[in-house]
Amino acid sequence: MRKWIALLAVLVMTMLCTVSLAEEESMVNPEALGLYSSEWADGFTDVKIYPEEDHWRVRIVSADGSLEWDYCCGYNEDQKTLLPLDTDNIKTEIRIDEEGSEIERNDVYNDGKAVFFVNEEGKLIWNDEKENAGAGFAFEKIGWFQGVWISGEDLDSRYELYCYWDVEEPAEGEVYSGYKVEIERYEGETYTHWVYSCVYNAENDTLQSLFGQKEYAEREGDAIVTVYDNGEAEFYFDDEGCIGWKDEIENAGEGLRFNATNG
């Protein structure tokens, strides 16, 4: 429910990349844009790749959040690879408190060297020539959906959408997918909750549900009941970078456009 806000607020930086793409498309190789611009994941290790002015930014965060690699890259058109430019390419150690908040950052080095490429299976490979930190990783393209999104201005009736990468083993009755999308709405005392397990479709940049469930409580304190557990949905980006929700069961997403928010 609203507890997801704290967990997911850190993911909203992802969407800053999405917002910038329209402004930067003319300044980067279109082939590279389609090939690399995305968030990528292997387990909970996260990679974000996006254009900045006349270069590419590659930012890698370890699964526990304690290490970060930041590369400023150029695109090699012949080899279709991303290569760090002769500028700061930094590895940083991050201290995190028990609540998951960052409390200190210390740079380990600023002369990182690496090659990034997409293999025949569509996985991102990180060949770290400095310390071989990328060994064993093959990152899956997951788009720019992670974050907290809202539709509507009124706090008491708006829809809140939480999208997060979840690779934990599924609970009984759940479907493993990698993505979870939860939508909540509080209207007066009425509470409605949809939850979907989804897969990312890289060909059309959408999330497709494998499992969907709707829950409902008429007033605060009432037991939350399951309305249905055969939900089907698709999530997509419109021309303005907002998430649209195509609900195949009851068309609940009609007219809704979810904007990125910092929670």
Q: What is the CATH number of the domain that holds 231?
A: 2.40.128
State the Cα–Cα distance between residues 140 and 127, nearest whole angstrom.
15
Whether pLDDT at 5 is above 50: no
- Span 78-99, average pLDDT: 91
2 conformational bin, left if phi > 0, alpha if psi -120 to 50, beta if neither: alpha
So what's the pLDDT on residue 3?
A: 35
Residue-wise pLDDT tens digits, 246-262: 999 999 999 999 999 86
Residues 38 and 138 in one domain: yes
So what's the pLDDT on residue 2?
A: 35
Residues in CB range of 56: below 8 A, 6 or more apart: 28, 32, 36, 49, 50, 72, 73, 74, 75, 82
When divided into structural domains, the chain yields a total of 2
Residues 135 and 157 in one domain: no
Residues 158 and 59 in one domain: no
State the Cα–Cα distance between residues 185 and 127, nearest whole angstrom.
44
**In which domain, by residue range, is 55 found?**
13-143
Mean pLDDT of all residues in the chain? Answer: 87
Last residue within a domain, chosen from 114, 143, 172: 143
Burial of 124 per CB tally in 10 Å (0-12, 13-18, 19+): buried
Which of the residue ranges 84-93, 108-117, 149-158 has the most confident prediction, judged by mean pLDDT? 108-117
Residue-wise pLDDT tens digits, 21-45: 333 333 578 899 999 999 999 999 9
State the Cα–Cα distance between residues 236 and 202, nearest whole angstrom.
11
So what's the pLDDT on residue 100?
A: 73
- Span 200-219, average pLDDT: 94
Within a domain: 6: no
Within a domain: 228: yes
Higher confidence at residue 11 or residue 221? 221
Within a domain: 69: yes
Residues 208 and 256 in one domain: yes
- Span 61-79, average pLDDT: 95
So what's the pLDDT on residue 23?
A: 37
Which pTM was predicted? 0.83
Within a domain: 233: yes
